[in-house]
Amino acid sequence: MSNSKLYKGSLNTIILKLLDEQGKMYGYEITQKVKALTKGELQITEGALYPALHKLEAEGLLDVEVAKVDNRLRKYYMLTEAGEKETVNRLAELEEFIRSMQNLVNPNWSIN
Amino acid sequence: MKLSQSQIQDIERYLDYHELKQVDLRVEVLDHMAESIEAAMENGVSYVDAFNRQRERWNPELESYSSFWLGWALSGPKMMIKKCAQMMRKIYLFALLSTVLISGILFFILKLLPLNVLGNTLDIIIKILFVIPFLVSLLLLYKIKQTSLKTTYQYFYKTQAWGWSLCGTLFNPILISNKPYFGIEIRYVKLLWPVFLIMVCLQFYKIYQKHIRVIKRMA
């Protein structure tokens, strides 16, 4: 994918935002949701997704729940209280970044 | 289309081949691979092709890998070693910063005390400071070995904490010298090593707690 580098810095925010909306999700589900929302533009690789999830968990922003689904165990991730607050902050930062980029690249265009 | 038990076992064997035994990661990878294969099969791809495609995707994440932070001699699945290396970096950073701060506070407190009277008492405290982390890490190593499931935290503890407590004992100035550690004048530098050791061991205790939390989750 040509523009994956542009998304890379926002991966953690994307994960937090999705979990904020969906409540709890598992790894594969996150990759598919992102793929669907971006119409295939962004495909998160396993090598990027799991380190990001583990880092967010280590930072105390995500909690984990394990459930038996079909014939295997599944790890669900969900936001902690600190994660919910951090999501608001990071989304605000991301929106600010998008606005700044918009001003730099095309001041006449608006996302709203 | 759900995978059969024998197809799940194919994935288990693939993970065994790459020595991904740590249950916290293994569960996740197995589920991800199984879901991907099931989705491909629903789109008409054969099980064998879908499985091979998944193996190609996961091979780079599971290939044998070493890290400077854990020691080059240790190797394991890349995603597990990278997770451990990240933990190690965090521990060093926390331990270094807290050591500088706590040693500084201790130094100024000890400066106010009459060291000619308290010199021996301080030596006893330092002896305890050196012995406690060693004993605690020994106890936790025993306890962590007793747990049935392997986790990333267990691997990390077994390969790193043990070395650290041994290092703390071997470089214990009380063991290698008969002279009083502090003497008649307190020195900031002399506080650094025992405090750093305590800080590192505190972090390892947290790692032990995380291991226990994963075990409880999986039960």
**Complex prediction ipTM:** 0.87
Residues of chain B with C-beta less than 8 angstroms from the C-beta of A71: 2-3, 5, 8
DSSP assignment of A26-39 equals EHHHHHHHHHHHTT
Instruction: Judge whether A3 lies within some domain.
Output: no
Instruction: Judge whether A24 lies within some domain.
Output: yes
Lookup result for tokens 């099931």: B38
Alpha carbon of A10: minimum distance to chain B alpha carbons (Å): 20
For residue B199, is pLDDT > 50?
yes
More confident residue, B110 or B90: B90
Instruction: Judge whether A5 lies within some domain.
Output: no
B19 vs B61: CA distance, rounded Å: 12
For residue B16, is pLDDT > 80?
yes
The segment with the largest mean pLDDT, out of A42-56, B118-132, B134-148, B173-187, is A42-56
Separation of CA B108 from chain center: 33
Instruction: Judge whether A72 lies within some domain.
Output: yes
pTM for this one?
0.87
Nearest to B79 by CA among A78, A42, A63, A27: A27
Nearest to B58 by CA among B28, B21, B87: B28
Instruction: Judge whether A107 lies within some domain.
Output: no
Nearest CB among B8, B29, B35 relative to A71 is that of B8
Instruction: Judge whether A69 lies within some domain.
Output: yes
Q: Quote the number of domains for chain A.
A: 1
The 10s digit of each residue's pLDDT in B68-91 is 999 999 999 999 999 999 999 999
pLDDT for the residue numbered A1 = 46
Instruction: Judge whether A110 lies within some domain.
Output: no
DSSP assignment of B34-58 equals HHHHHHHHHTT--HHHHHHHHHHHH
**Where in the sequence is the domain holding A67, given as residue range(s)?**
11-102
- Tokens matching residue A71: 């014939």
- Helices A27-37, A46-58: crossing angle, 10 deg rounding: 120
Tell me which residues of chain B have a C-beta less than 8 Å from any C-beta of chain A: 2-3, 5, 8, 24-25, 27-32, 34-36, 39, 57-58, 60-61, 79, 82-83, 86-87, 90, 217-218
Domain CATH number, residue A17: 1.10.10.10
B87 vs B14: CA distance, rounded Å: 26
Instruction: Judge whether A41 lies within some domain.
Output: yes
DSSP assignment of chain A equals -TTHHHHHTTHHHHHHHHHHHHSEEEHHHHHHHHHHHTTTS----HHHHHHHHHHHHHTTSEEEEEEEETTEEEEEEEE-HHHHHHHHHHHHHHHHHHHHHHHHH-TT----
